Amino acid sequence: MTRATPSTATPLPILTYHNIATAPREIRRWRSLYVSPRAFARQMWLLRRFGYTGLSMSAAMPYLQGERSGRIAIITLDDGYADNLESALPVLQRHGFSATCYVVSGSIGQYNQWDDERLGVRKPLMSVEQLREWQRGGMEIGAHTRSHPRLTQCSDAQLHDEIHGSKATLEDHLGTPVTQFCYPYGDADDRVAGVVREAGFAAATTTARGRASAGMDLWLLPRVQIARHHLLPQFAMRVMSGYEDRRG
């Protein structure tokens, strides 16, 4: 797997969220995947207060490519949960921010089939109309494969179907180009990243820890995970300091 090349440019935190909702009581494992609407609102307020602009992946591409500089935070949400539309969209719009939601194309309008048994809860995913509403609200849809597999374990044919197929399905539903990709579980290597590039995606994100910067491999970008237990000072430390970079 190719490692990203460090740069002296301004660090660009790519924030990772999943559910913007209160964690159900029945969930005993992976409660960290939830960030409450109140906490999310406070985090977005803090970004704005410190002069950051929240951007989607596509809006941030000039910064990632070294063509522009500035104080930005890139906001991404994985899987396409309905609570993103209900709870995150109004907050993002209030601050004039944009964000990218990575969608599992084979589960649109259904639930988290890839981990519902492990988590013990079925979490509703956005329907096609809700994805369009997300877009109309100024946000972006990215691809997160067809079925959320571990891509390094897929055959070449499966890889093509999961990556190319998810792009085609989403573009057919939405009528707009889908140019951003996210690896399920952050599972990627050179073979997988090559198929993502070949499919025409402009960039792809992993779960590797750290902030991005101009000059890094655009198809193996690190991110900053934001979890349920992170208090506002911890959020600020992860986004605005080298804390995550040292742990990458």
Average pLDDT (139-163) is 98
Six-digit token string for 109: 């309008």
How far is residue 27 from each of residues 16, 21, 24, 88, 219, measured CA to CA in Å?
20, 13, 6, 21, 33
Residue 131 belongs to what H/E stretch?
helix 128-136
Distance from C-alpha of 47 to C-alpha of 37, rounded to nearest angstrom: 15
Domain boundaries, the chain: 14-142+203-246
Helices and strands (H and E) in the chain: how many: 10, 10
pLDDT of residue 19: 98
pLDDT tens for 153-203 read 999 999 999 999 999 999 999 999 999 999 999 999 999 999 999 999 999
Distance from C-alpha of 228 to C-alpha of 111, rounded to nearest angstrom: 21
Q: Which residue has the tokens 């198929």?
A: 195
pLDDT tens for 47-67 read 999 999 999 999 999 999 999
Name the residue type at position 5.
T
Q: Is 52 within 8 Å of 13 (Cβ atoms)?
A: no
> pLDDT band at 5, cuts 50/70/90?
very low
Position with higher pLDDT, 25 vs 112: 112
pLDDT of residue 1: 44
% of the chain residues with pLDDT over 70: 96
Please check the confidence at residue 132 and state whether its pLDDT lies above 80: yes
Please check the confidence at residue 8 and state whether its pLDDT lies above 60: no
Q: Which residue has the tokens 């990218």?
A: 100
pLDDT of residue 2: 38
Among residues 221, 197, 234, the alpha carbon closest in space to that of 76 is found at 221
CA-based torsion, 29, 82, 59, 220: positive or negative: positive
Name the residue type at position 237.
M
Average pLDDT score over the chain:
94
Beta strands in the chain, from DSSP E residues, in sequence order: 14-17, 19-20, 34-35, 53-55, 72-79, 100-103, 140-143, 180-182, 203-209, 221-225
Distance from C-alpha of 74 to C-alpha of 59, rounded to nearest angstrom: 9
pLDDT of residue 95: 98
Position with higher pLDDT, 248 vs 141: 141
Q: Map residue 182 onto helix, strand or coil.
A: strand
Average pLDDT (88-100) is 98
Question: What CATH code is assigned to 14-142+203-246?
Answer: 3.20.20.370
> pLDDT band at 7, cuts 50/70/90?
very low
Distance from C-alpha of 151 to C-alpha of 188, rounded to nearest angstrom: 7
Please check the confidence at residue 6 and state whether its pLDDT lies above 80: no
Please check the confidence at residue 236 and state whether its pLDDT lies above 70: yes
Please check the confidence at residue 137 and state whether its pLDDT lies above 60: yes
Distance from C-alpha of 92 to C-alpha of 73, rounded to nearest angstrom: 12
pLDDT tens for 199-217 read 999 999 999 999 999 999 9
